[in-house]
Amino acid sequence: MIKAKKIKEKYIRRHPSPFCPGCGGGMVLNSMSRAVEESGVSKEDIVAVSGIGCAAWIPSPHWRVDTLHTTHGRAIAFATGVKIGNKDLEVIVVSGDGDCAGIGGNHLLHGARNNIDLNVLMINNGLYAMTGGQVAPTTEHDEKTLTTPYGNPSSSFDVAEVVKAAGAGHVARWTTYHMKELIEEVKTAIDTNGFSFIEILTQCPTRKGKKEGMNGLEMLQWYKENTSKDEDTDKIFVGTLSEVDRPELTEQIYKQIDETGDELK
């Protein structure tokens, strides 16, 4: 294991972070940094793109790489331009569940359909945390939130399954309890030539934990007890959901330029 001091000096721009005590955001930042370090990708080639919300602040301004902190829900669309603009860049999108699957759902679907070589980390805390804890597309049916005081009349959807159905090259789910597995999964995502989607169940002790009588540590414990690497249980499955080999958009575009065109601009 690489020493924390080295990771901090090389990858972390600001410390301490603005995240609440017990938040999982810092753990994701740690795992991203370690994955990049272990993958051998040059830090200069990384572009981290994020939208709006707590998760968007994980890379911006805390990660010491090129960062693009964009508008709400549009990170994948911005990232698409970055990747097609320069295919040699390794583009990592960090997006909350509301940002990624709510307001940005259309871009998520089409990013997966295009199988564009992005690495999307969806930080799923099950609600809109930055704005006070409103209901999200990932909130369970009947769950009480700031805007569902009588219980959620709607239902959640399984974002990872949707992304899988849309054709993403690599889909996985982990939690902040599974740090070692998560680091390996981000490395796999970086190595994958296609749309990699990792759903990361991440504790929000402030908006969700408090309401359910759990602190950050207890929420991690809950992830431990309620997830399984075995698909045939009633628990939340963690692991790889899908790996498919489909044409990757950027590569196709560059190939067409190469075949029909002038020298690449």
Partner 1 sequence: MKEQDEYFMEGNIACAEGALKAGCGFYAGYPITPASEVMNHLSKELPKAGGRFVQMEDEIASIASVIGASWTGLKSMTATSGPGFSLMQENLGYAVMTETPCVIVNVQRAGPSTGQATKPGTGDVMQARFGSQGDYEIIALSPNSAQEMFEFTVRAFNLAEKYRTPVVLLADAGVGHMREKVKIPKEVDIVERRRPEDDENEYFDTDREDRVPPMPDFGDGKELLITGSTHLGDGTRDTSSFEAQDRLVRRLVSKIEDNREELEDWEERNLEDADLVVISYGSISRPARGAVKKARDNGLKVGFFRPKVMWPSPEKKLREIGENSKVLLVELSLRGYRMEVERAVPSENLHIYDKLNSLPTIDQIYEKIEELIK
180 binds partner 1 (CB under 8 A): no
**The tokens 């159905």 sit on which residue?**
165
CB-CB contact of 244 with 169 (8 Å)? yes
- CB closer to partner 1 out of 13 and 235: 13
What is the total count of residues that contact partner 1 (CB under 8 A)? 43
- CB closer to partner 1 out of 12 and 122: 12
68 binds partner 1 (CB under 8 A): yes
Cα 153 from Cα 170, distance rounded (Å): 32
Give the number of other CB atoms < 10 A from CB of residue 140. 13
- Contacts of residue 7, defined as CB under 8 A and 6 or more positions apart, other chains included, come to 30, 33, 34, 37
Point out which span in 63-71, 121-129, 130-138, 180-188 binds partner 1 (CB under 8 A). 63-71
CA dist 145 → 19, 210, 261 (Å): 20, 11, 54
Question: What tokens were used for 27?
Answer: 């753990």
- CB closer to partner 1 out of 233 and 256: 256
In the set 20, 89, 165, 179, which binds partner 1 (CB under 8 A)? 89
Point out which span in 67-75, 123-131, 174-182, 225-233 binds partner 1 (CB under 8 A). 67-75
Cα 155 from Cα 168, distance rounded (Å): 24
79 binds partner 1 (CB under 8 A): yes
262 binds partner 1 (CB under 8 A): yes
Alpha carbon dihedral 246, 168, 45, 60, in 10-degree steps, equals: 170
CB of 214 to partner 1, least distance (A): 29
Residues 213-242 binding partner 1 (CB under 8 A) are: none
Residues 25-54 binding partner 1 (CB under 8 A) are: 44-45, 47, 49
String of DSSP letters for 2-14: --HHHHHHHHBSS
Residues 239-258 binding partner 1 (CB under 8 A) are: 249, 253-254, 256-257
7 binds partner 1 (CB under 8 A): no
For residue 153, cis peptide bond before it (omega within 30 degrees of 0): no
Q: In degrees rounded to 5, what are phi and psi of residue 94? A: -115, 120
What does the binding site for partner 1 look like in residue numbers (CB under 8 A)?
A: 13, 44-45, 47, 49, 60-61, 64-71, 74, 77-86, 88-89, 106-107, 109-110, 249, 253-254, 256-257, 260-265
